[in-house]
């Protein structure tokens, strides 16, 4: 098996996603791989806390994009990877679709993400499950208690 050269970390900034990002950093150190941090905003939620909703005079997509950029920067800094590539994608489609597209564009060898446990038999969420069927590269789904 060839070593990983590019690891894409898909995050929704949850505690589980943070554990997955930590695992990705460890793998990056072991293999000398580049890291790509990715956050996908797939919809404009109506039932979110006020801090996640754009003020009246601000474009909602740009507000969420900038909020994602700040959160990615904070995550990368906390993990000691401030120089890693950081991408925020606003999409009307699914996170799964955008993660696949980003991984292919960046030629990722490995996708690392947290497991929500909301999908297949309470083990894999629909995004993680979908990635495992769509990608030719390896997918690592990190459980919440890892």
Q: Indicate the angle between helix axes 126-134 and 95-105, nearest 10 degrees.
A: 40
CB-CB contact of 6 with 36 (8 Å): yes
How confident is the model over 3-58, as pLDDT tens digits? 899 999 999 898 889 999 999 999 999 999 999 999 998 765 555 554 566 667 77
Q: Where are the domains of the chain?
A: 6-142
Could you tell me which CATH class the domain 6-142 is placed in?
Answer: alpha beta
Joined tokens for residue 62 = 């740009």
Q: Burial, 3: exposed, middle or buried (Cβ in 10 Å; 0-12, 13-18, 19+)?
A: exposed
CB-CB contact of 25 with 81 (8 Å): yes
CA–CA distance, 11 with 88 (Å, rounded to integer): 10
How confident is the model over 59-87, as pLDDT tens digits? 877 888 898 999 999 999 999 999 999 99
pTM for the whole structure: 0.81
Strand partners, 37: 9, 86
């Amino acid at each position: 098996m060839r070593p990983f050269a590019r690891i894409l970390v898909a995050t929704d900034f949850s505690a589980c996603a943070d554990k997955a990002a930590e695992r990705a950093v460890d793998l990056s150190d072991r293999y000398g791989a580049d890291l790509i941090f990715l956050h996908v905003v797939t919809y404009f939620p109506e039932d979110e806390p006020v801090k996640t909703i754009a003020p009246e005079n601000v474009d909602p997509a740009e507000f969420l994009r900038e909020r994602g950029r700040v959160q990615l920067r904070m995550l990368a800094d906390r993990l000691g990877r401030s120089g890693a590539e950081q991408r925020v994608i606003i999409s009307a489609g699914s996170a799964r679709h955008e993660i696949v597209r980003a991984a292919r564009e960046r030629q990722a060898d490995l996708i690392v993400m947290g497991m929500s446990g909301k999908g297949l038999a309470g083990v894999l969420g629909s995004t993680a499950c979908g990635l495992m069927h769509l990608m030719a590269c390896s997918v690592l789904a990190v459980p919440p208690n890892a």
